[in-house]
Structure 1
């Protein structure tokens, strides 16, 4: 185990796992269950355990176990039905927090994810600091706890989160990867099920270190070339996989459908500014810039028009995107028309971080928006907004 305060800038991967998620949601919504063994699932003759809290796990109750067996092991368990809609609601809140902190989020189902925080460290601090901030936000905004593993590879990060449960944080510095891995049993390696474990043990291999030190050709003879190479690499701390995103974004946009048709120019400008700021924030989180801004309008008769404007220099500054979208609105001659939907989209995306030249006309806006990004990452959306988006109080 690494030191309690371990940190390392070379550990960009986080594995975040919500602790006993389904059961924790039930305790969150019904605090009277605190301290009791709680099992989530049905009571039918073929029902299985969907989740169990840590009190129930002490009796040997685990997910996917027949409910009848679970109740024999823990007769005093409180059984609550599955509420998937509620779990999905809280999962979306948690994943939104992850998205606030980095665009590189690989969802692994409803209750866990990998994150690459390489970009976030520039804004928020070291990987450990980012992980601490993430855990604090999840607890504050949802009432749930999570365990986080931080490492130089996805594989080690996932192992570390498991070692830190429940409600913990473990950083494995890059230089300590093998020290962390090698004492573990061979079953800790991804791809080692009961059959493979038995094959490895027949070779006299019981620990990850044994696999790491075995010649590759010996492993290949027992396991085949593909699995042998995979396990040998993992055992030596080698895992080249990056975050797997569902899709590569070719454009980033935001649309609003008004609850009633709008002609008020101030209301339309507010909508454009809000959308431009949202699009720009997403560009910055993805560390990309856009060369083209596209405005989309749908009128009350459901006719739809678009107008694009190409920038002299690509940007991820909300104010610049807003001004281009407003110019497109004027060019469409839309003033006075009844608008049902309005949208702003950034296209022709390219890598950010390039030179801004000797003079950056958006420097002041850029600095202000980066400050807002930091507040958003730490405390959530809406804590800071442009004054134009704050409506004056209604006289009464």
Structure 2
């Protein structure tokens, strides 16, 4: 391990083994994950700057940069053209997402070997609970060391933060990268958090940072001691929660791996290398996005009632529109035509579209549905078309052979596009 840091420890961490009292929450963050996998699979790229992302000449963005590229100022979400100027010698790749998912699954399996309490945040990040006595009586620091070593044996590395809450663990995981372990023992949270800038805490963006600065609040310690009325003006109903998090007083549970996650929405967005202006291209994009949403709905056993279409135009503005269906569905052959009808109300041919998104929400089936004679519904009351069987068959082929194994010709229009965002919106997803 590159480094291990114990905040405010009176001596070596070993001296405190067995002394942990109360919740022990870890946050594992895979180091420059996509770029690290590329360096693992391409030995000649090791030690060289590697950038995973879209084309610099096609308005792409950086997905991940290796630490060698970061030394030149390259960062995730940076325009690829800017990254190329900063690091012209970098090796570029569009990425191999099936391979990233494969390695991610192996890492998550390591966590699940150590504890059943794992909250996966993303493909390269997860919270885990190793509170003594909840599943194991072993020392939390020892468990984190073992997790780090097991991840390293895969050929990639991770950084881990360990503390009494998700907030502390998340911030600690950022303190020492790559391959670091930062431990904040119970009782030292406030001292650890207090001197840090407010942006160190997730949930505080640039707008909130500016508003806090106007009130003279620059550090988490100042945030923890701030006037509640001042914080209410910045965070609204979440003011008290943000104050507790800044003090290290948050108590956030990590659920068991097999606990059902309450998903609020499933959506897919794509930013295009060239603006779309023709009706055929826009319809093809909506079909492609909707097919991805339908597949993920079926994978999770969800059926939604509300269709959302999102557009962002080249001049920066956008429109988001929704329509509620009479019956829930997981069939893109049902909800894509609705999205196309919504398109007619917010776009005219010739208007330049930079981003499009399709989403489904409103998954509550507890109240049942009113069926009628004009559509086919299943035993849940979910609507289906006569083409749903084909969609399910394509799902099975893709699960076995990869996303590119089967598809429709319209996808070829966007084969070079890699700037995309697939999302699950969750009521209980961890936020740090």
TM-score (norm 1): 0.59
Contact 1:211 1:232 (8 Å CA) reproduced: yes
C-alpha distance in structure 1 between counterparts of 2:78 and 2:247, whole Å: 34
Partners of 2:50 and 2:65 within 8 A in 1? yes
The alpha carbon displacement at 1:245 in A equals 5.0
**Are 1:84 and 2:91 counterparts?**
no
Aligned position for 1:147: 159
8 Å contact from structure 2 (residues 195, 220) kept in 1: yes
Give 2:66's match in structure 1, choosing from 45, 53, 60: 53
DSSP-derived class of the 2:58 partner = coil
Shift in alpha-carbon separation, 1:120–1:132, aligned structure 2, 3 A: farther
Number of residue equivalences:
247
Gaps of 5+ in 2: 1-6, 261-432
- Cα deviation code 1:43-63 (max 9, x no counterpart): 251221111001101111111
Q: Report the CA distance between 1:167 and its aligned residue.
A: 0.4
User: Partners of 1:80 and 1:225 in 2: how far apart?
Assistant: 42
Secondary structure in structure 2 of the residue aligned to 1:107: strand
Taking the TM superposition and a 5 Å limit, the aligned residue runs for 1:118-157 are 118=131, 123=136, 125-140=138-153, 142-157=154-169
Shift of 1:242: 0.6
Matched, 1:107 2:120: yes
1:229 to 229, 233, 240: 240
> Is this contact kept in 2: 1:15–1:149, CA < 8 A?
yes
Q: Is the 8 A contact 2:117 2:257 kept in 1?
A: no
Contact 2:36 2:66 in 1 (8 A): yes
CA 1:241–1:121: 2 relative to 1, 3 Å: closer
For residues 223 and 40 of structure 1, what CA distance do their matches in structure 2 show?
36
Q: Secondary structure at the match of 1:231?
A: helix
Task: Return closer, same or farther for 1:223/1:159 CA change in 2, 3 Å cut-off.
Answer: same
TM-fit CA distance, 1:219: 2.1
Q: 1:239 aligns with which of 234, 238, 250?
A: 250
State the SS of the aligned residue for 1:175: coil
How many Å apart are 1:215 and its aligned residue? 2.6
Kept in 2: contact 1:121–1:130 (CA 8 A): no
In the alignment, the residues of structure 1 paired with residue 91 and residue 205 of structure 2 have an alpha-carbon distance, to the nearest angstrom, of 32
What's the CA shift for 1:116?
0.6
Offset at 1:246? 6.7
CA deviation after TM superposition for structure 1 residue 204, in Å: 0.8
Q: Deviations over 1:297-334 (max 9, x none)?
A: xxxxxxxxxxxxxxxxxxxxxxxxxxxxxxxxxxxxxx
Structure 2 residue matching 1:96: 3-state secondary structure: helix
Distance 1:244 1:123 in 2: 15
Q: Which SS does the other structure have where 2:119 is aligned?
A: strand
What is the CA–CA distance in structure 2 between the aligned matches of 1:91 and 1:84, rounded to whole Å?
Answer: 10
Tell me which moved more, 95-104 or 240-249.
240-249
SS at match of 1:35: coil
- Residues in 2 aligned to 1:67 and 1:187: alpha-carbon distance in whole angstroms: 25
8 Å CA contact 2:24–2:130 kept in 1: the answer is yes
Q: Quick one: distance in 1 between partners of 2:40 and 2:94?
A: 15
Within-5 A mapping of 1:274-289: none
Partner of 2:225: 213
Q: How does 1:171-320 map to 2 (within 5 A)?
A: 171-220=183-232, 222-223=233-234, 225-244=236-255, 248=259
Q: Distance in 2 between matches of 1:167 and 1:188?
A: 19
Asked if the contact 1:102/1:120 (under 8 Å) is kept, the reply is: no
Deviations 1:367-394 (A, max 9, x none): xxxxxxxxxxxxxxxxxxxxxxxxxxxx
User: Among residues 24, 35, 45, which one is paired with 1:12 in the alignment?
Assistant: 24
TM-aligned CA deviation for residue 123 of structure 1? 4.2
- CA shift, 1:237, in A, is 1.0
Aligned mates of 2:257, 2:148 — CA distance in 1:
24
Distance 1:122-1:189 versus aligned 2 partners, 3 A rule = closer
Distance 1:100 1:172, change over 3 A: same
2:182 is the counterpart of 1:170: yes
Q: 1:39 aligns with which of 41, 47, 51?
A: 51
TM value normalised by structure 2:
0.54
